[in-house]
Structure 1
Amino acid sequence: MRLTVRGRLTLVYGGLFVLAGLVLLGATAVLVSQRLPNVLAKSERTAPLPGVAGDLTETRQYFEASASGAVSTLLSQGGIALLVVSAAAIALGWLIAGRMLHPLQQITATARRIADAPDADRGLHERIALTGPDDEIKELADTFDIMLARLDHSFDGQRRFIASASHELRTPLTLNRTLLEVALTQEAAPEQVRQLGTTLLAINDRHGRLIDGLLLLAQSERPVAERSYVDLADIVDHVAVSDTVKVITEPGEATVSGNPVLLERLVQNLVENGVRHNLPANGWVRVRTGSRADGWAVLEVSNSGPVVPRYEVPGLFEPFHRYGTERLHASGAGLGLSIVRAVARAHGGEARADARDEGGLIVTVTLPRAL
């Protein structure tokens, strides 16, 4: 059982109170036991007790017994009083500790809401805004708010930079493509110029796909505001096609609430990734959709292909990451799986990949099912 800070503070305060009470009670008993016989003897010399005044031994025994009884009564009654007061002090300490720690609970609740957000930057707009005395706890809360504000500004600036840069780069790429196409349509152009133009067009197209991917990635990392009723099986029916490898579809009902364009791009990216990283002959891609009893819709895309080491799998979801020599020779921009994960998280889901022992991958996307 985990003991909370409130419980530990209560035990410490209560234990110190009981210890101080025991020390005080013991010291009082010792002082009383030392002083009481002298006080009683002095009283006897000034006013002898009837029946024992002539017997000094009996008088001394009488006063010693009286002193011992007084000390015993002090210890027993004092112990009971200490027990009652200690119980009240512990209960009061529990209430005071709870009140003192309430601001920390508010900080913890805010941090937990931010941590439970679907994306790392989804809840950074929240603030603790703690009120109260200007003490160490309020200083902690204000520092936490400043950190959240800076992180929120940083993430927002990053998204705006990606979107703005991508839009700005579209214009020169479009102009380059137009000029190259015009140059290639001229019949007097030499063969070397045509080959160079074709190569430049391919490079231009690759840069265009990169920019489109960055735009989509920036869009996917924002919350999905407008949602529609979408069945992943319908998307699979018209997206899961290929002219180079065999595509096997097993569509089952998998209804979700989300952005149809983003969800279609998610499925398309997975299919294209399975087709691109496949075997040169007898390759295949299998696409399955369905619903689980625990309230999740599942999209699974598996493919044949080269063996991928398991330690390489987590990095495949990072932007611009490609496995092996594909970094230099692949036609993609290296954003396919990054976009898949971003779209899944924007819809409250998750994407994971597992390496097949025979080669290739199994990518599974789980999304909250729409009822």
Structure 2
Amino acid sequence: MSRWTLRTRLTVLYGVLFFLAGAVLLGLTYLLVQASLESQLSGSLDARAAALRAQGVPDGVLEQARRDQEALRDAALGSLLTQGGLALVGVGAAAAGLGWLVAGRALRPLHRITETAQRIAASSGRGLHERLALAGPRDEVRRLGDSFDAMLEQLDRSFDGQRRFVANASHELRTPLALNRALVELAVTRPEASADLRQLGTSLLEVNERHERLIDGLLTLADSENAVTTRSHVDLADVAARVASASMRRSLAPAPTSGDPVLIERLAQNLVDNAVRYNVPPGWVSVRTAVEGANAVLTVENTGPVVAAYEVESLFQPFRQLGDRRAGPDRGFGLGLSIVRAIAQAHGGTATATPRDDGGLIVKVSLPVGE
């Protein structure tokens, strides 16, 4: 019974309670009718027996009349029990059906809350703008729906504020980084610049470039957190052909989808860059595109260090890399797969990774097929 739905349990509860109440009512009716018949038949038999004896009727005839009256009483009581039981079963079945309908109607707001929560969970927080806005009297279910809407409002403001902060901070940091780069380039290109100054300038330019790439990654991640509204035709095979080098293993079958071409190209570029960065010689990188069911699929596979299955999901978290270690200055930022998943989800798709037994990863991005 623990696997039954709440609607089923409520219907069974309604039915059982109805049958119990009906059985009690039928039993009481039976006892009352039995007592009434016995009282009436007893008085009637006594009066008739006195009258018949006065007329000289033998006692055997009187006894037979008594037995006939008792048989008639028993038949009436049996008929009452049988017909009442059948009526109880019929009305109970009708009551159970009515209980099923009533339970479904009463649970409809809860189903709506569940469906909304599932849509928001499937969209990774992009559906926080949805509201239930339940109508009707302010009963317990209405208060639950209003509380759910208030929670969504708070979460929506929090997520939106976080995205705006990342985007604004990234934009604000771009200007001083660009200015720093210009000043360092100017300093190292002067004819009187010493060798030490040029070496220092080169190191500063590398640090500055790294910071610019970090800012670019944060901006891309913030932009990809929003659902794509303007879409155009994109073939994953064409995108993969642009980002994958000729030295890689390529199997590029047509895989049409729709979305933002810039974001999808960034997705493919990140996958290929990650596969190359964590490859180990004499390894290889494989890039494949195909249509699988209702999805256009891009798969990037590489050789590399062995990855434990429990570590795979952490690779999609920002600033996290293999072994649950923080990203370091010589190991990238740990934003690559985070951006890949964010872009895939913004297009209504998924991004998953599977470790290879002999080392490396198989990263698979599935996007809805487009025309």
TM-score strictly above 0.5: yes
**Other-structure match for 1:357:** 357
**Other-structure match for 2:153:** 149
Range 256-265 or range 309-318, more displaced: 309-318
**Aligned equivalent of 2:127, options 123, 126, 141:** 123
CA distance in 2 between counterparts of 1:284 and 1:94 reads 60
* Post-superposition offset of 1:367: 1.8
C-alpha distance 188-331 of structure 1, shift in aligned 2 (>3 A): farther
Matches within 5 A, 1:146-225: 146-225=150-229
Matches within 5 A, 1:30-179: 30-45=31-46, 51=52, 55=59, 61=67, 63-116=69-122, 119-179=123-183
2:299 paired with 1:323: no
* Post-superposition offset of 1:59: 6.2
Look up the SS of the partner of 2:276 in the other structure.
helix
Letter in 2 for 1:94: W
Range 59-68 or range 352-361, more displaced: 59-68
CA distance in 1 between counterparts of 2:322 and 2:38 reads 94
**Other-structure match for 2:347:** 347
State whether residues 349 and 368 of structure 2, in contact with CA within 8 Å, keep that contact through their aligned partners in structure 1: yes
CA distance in 2 between counterparts of 1:71 and 1:237 reads 89
**Other-structure match for 2:252:** 251
C-alpha distance 283-47 of structure 1, shift in aligned 2 (>3 A): closer
**CA deviation profile, 1:8-52 (whole Å, cap 9, x unmatched):** 322222222222222222233234434533333334445657646
**Aligned equivalent of 1:239, options 230, 243, 249:** 243
CA distance in 2 between counterparts of 1:85 and 1:327 reads 70
C-alpha distance 315-76 of structure 1, shift in aligned 2 (>3 A): closer
* Post-superposition offset of 1:194: 3.4
CA RMSD of aligned residues (A): 2.8
State whether residues 320 and 326 of structure 2, in contact with CA within 8 Å, keep that contact through their aligned partners in structure 1: no
Unmatched runs of 5 consecutive residues or more in structure 1:
none
CA distance in 2 between counterparts of 1:44 and 1:259 reads 99
* Post-superposition offset of 1:127: 1.3
State whether residues 223 and 346 of structure 1, in contact with CA within 8 Å, keep that contact through their aligned partners in structure 2: yes
**CA deviation profile, 1:131-161 (whole Å, cap 9, x unmatched):** 1121111111111111222222222111111
Range 265-274 or range 29-38, more displaced: 29-38
State whether residues 344 and 350 of structure 1, in contact with CA within 8 Å, keep that contact through their aligned partners in structure 2: yes
C-alpha distance 100-49 of structure 1, shift in aligned 2 (>3 A): farther
2:273 paired with 1:267: no
2:29 paired with 1:23: no
CA distance in 2 between counterparts of 1:129 and 1:38 reads 64
CA distance in 1 between counterparts of 2:133 and 2:180 reads 52
State whether residues 319 and 326 of structure 2, in contact with CA within 8 Å, keep that contact through their aligned partners in structure 1: no
Unmatched runs of 5 consecutive residues or more in structure 2:
none
**Other-structure match for 2:336:** 336
Look up the SS of the partner of 1:263 in the other structure.
helix
C-alpha distance 291-74 of structure 1, shift in aligned 2 (>3 A): closer
C-alpha distance 357-22 of structure 1, shift in aligned 2 (>3 A): closer
Range 80-89 or range 331-340, more displaced: 80-89
Letter in 1 for 2:365: V
State whether residues 320 and 333 of structure 1, in contact with CA within 8 Å, keep that contact through their aligned partners in structure 2: yes
Q: Identity across aligned pairs (percent)?
A: 56
CA distance in 2 between counterparts of 1:241 and 1:247 reads 6
State whether residues 296 and 369 of structure 1, in contact with CA within 8 Å, keep that contact through their aligned partners in structure 2: yes
Look up the SS of the partner of 2:353 in the other structure.
strand
Instruction: Extract structure 1 runs of 4+ deviating beyond 6 A.
Output: none
* Post-superposition offset of 1:174: 1.6
State whether residues 255 and 297 of structure 1, in contact with CA within 8 Å, keep that contact through their aligned partners in structure 2: yes
Look up the SS of the partner of 1:328 in the other structure.
coil
Range 51-60 or range 147-156, more displaced: 51-60
* TM-score, structure 1 normalization: 0.86
CA distance in 2 between counterparts of 1:368 and 1:344 reads 10
